[in-house]
Amino acid sequence: MFAIKTFLALSSIAMTNVVFALGPPAINLGTAGNFVILAKSGLSIVPPSSITGNIGVSPATSGAITGFSLIKTGAFATSTQVIGSVFASDFPAPTPATLTATILAMEAAFTDGNSRTANVTVNLGAGTLTGLTLAPGLYTWTNTVNVVTSLTLSGLPTDIWILKIAGGLNVAAAQKIILTGALPKNVFWVVSGTVKIGTTSSFFGVLLAATDVILTTMSSLNGRILSQGAVVLQQATVVFA
C-alpha cells in the first residue's frame, strides 16, 4: 500500500511539470523551413534592405532575383543584402533538385494549413482587426483581413496560432503584430490573396502565401515568407529569430 501511495504521489508531482501546448497542431514546413524567404515567381528588393537567412526562387531563375547584386559562387550566390545564401533554379546541381523538393514542401504546408477546420473561430471582427488580443487557436476569415491597429497574440512559447485568410492581408502603416509569450515559428498565416505590410510596420510569424507578398518602406518581418507568387521588399528587414 505504501508503494502504491508513493507512486501516485510521484505521478502527481510529475504531471505538474508537464506543459501542454494550446491551439492546433503546428504546420510542418518540411525543407521549406530552411529558408527565410522562398518564392516561385520572383524576389526583388529596393536597397538598402536586410535579410538574415537563406533565400531562394523556383521555378523562376536567378534573373527574377533583382536588386541584390548577386555574386555567384557555384551552387548558390551571395549578396551584401543577405546574411545567408541565395539559391535559384538555374544554379548548378544539386540546387535545382533541392529547390524543386522545397517548393513542393511549401505547397504541401499551405494545403495543410488551408485545410484546417477543427475548433475554429470564424470571421472575427468581420475581417477588420482593431487592437484585439488573440489566444492560441485556429482563426479563419472568408474575406480580406485588415489589421488597422496593432494585433496581439498572447500565450506560451509552446502554443500555436493558425490564421487562415481566404482573401488578402493588409497591415496598416506604423502598426505591429505583437507576440506576448508566443514565438514567431508557432504563428502561421495562411493567406490566399496578396499580403501587404504597411510602411514602418512590424510583423511576426510564418507567412504561407498563395500569391504575392509586399513589405513596404521600412517595414520588418520576424519569421518566414513562403510565397507561391513573388516577394517584394522596399527597404525592409526580414529575419528569423
**Among 35, 39, 90, 91, residue whose Cα is nearest residue 232:** 39
User: What's the pTM value of the predicted model, to 2 decimals?
Assistant: 0.91
3-state secondary structure of 7: helix
- pLDDT tens string, the chain, 241 residues long: the values are 544 444 334 334 333 444 457 999 999 999 999 999 999 999 999 999 999 999 999 999 999 999 999 999 999 999 999 999 999 999 999 999 999 999 999 999 999 999 999 999 999 999 999 999 999 999 999 999 999 999 999 999 999 999 999 999 999 999 999 999 999 999 999 999 999 999 999 999 999 999 999 999 999 999 999 999 999 999 999 999 7
- Which residues, including other chains, have CB under 8 Å from residue 116's CB and lie 6 or more apart? 24, 138, 162, 164
Closest to 182 (Cα-Cα) out of 238, 223, 149, 130: 223
DSSP string, 24-37: SPPP--GGGGG-SE
Residues near 202 by beta carbon (within 8 Å), at least 6 away in sequence: 176, 177, 219, 220, 221, 222
